[in-house]
Amino acid sequence: MASVASALRTAIVDANITNITTKVYRDAAPDATDTPFVTFSDDLARVPAFVGDGAVSARTRLVHVYLWQLLDAEDVTLVDSVLSAVDSAALTGADKKIFGCRVTDVQRFANLEENTCQHTLVVDVTQGN
C-alpha cells in the first residue's frame, strides 16, 4: 500500500493540470524545475477525533499543498485546478483508511524580489488509526 502522501500526489498528478502534469514533489522541487509546479508538506500535525467513550477512532492529518508560479506569469486558474484536484479527493491505495480530504483554506504570497507567487492550500485528511 502507498502512503497517504503518495496517494495525495497521485490525486494531483491524475488531475493532469495544464503545465504541471507530473511536477508534484514532496517537500521541495529539484533545483532545475520550471514553474509552475506543486510541492506539499505532509503530516504537519495530527488531531484526534474521539467517539462517545473517549476512544480515538480517527485522526485529522494536516497537509499543506503549495502551488509555485512566477509572479509575472501567474495563471490565476491554476490554483482552482489544484483546489479541485485535492478537495474531496478519493485518496485510494493509502496505508490508512481515508474518510475525507478537505481544503480548509487557501492563501497567496507574493515575493517581488524573487518574482515568485505561492498559493498555500491547507488540507485536512481524516484517516483511521
- For residues 29-56, b (16+ Cβ closer than 10 Å) or e, as one string? beeeeebbbbbbebeeeeeeeeeeeeee
User: Which stretches in the chain have pLDDT values below 50?
Assistant: 1
Sequence-distant (≥ 6) Cβ neighbours of residue 77 within 8 angstroms: none
Q: Output the domain CATH number for residue 70.
A: 3.30.2000.10
Range of the domain at 8: 4-128
Nine-digit cell string for 18: 495544464
pTM of the model: 0.91
What is the per-residue pLDDT for 95? 75
Number of domains the chain contains: 1
What is the per-residue pLDDT for 66? 98
How far apart, in whole angstroms, are the C-alpha atoms of residue 22 and residue 24? 6
What is the per-residue pLDDT for 93? 75
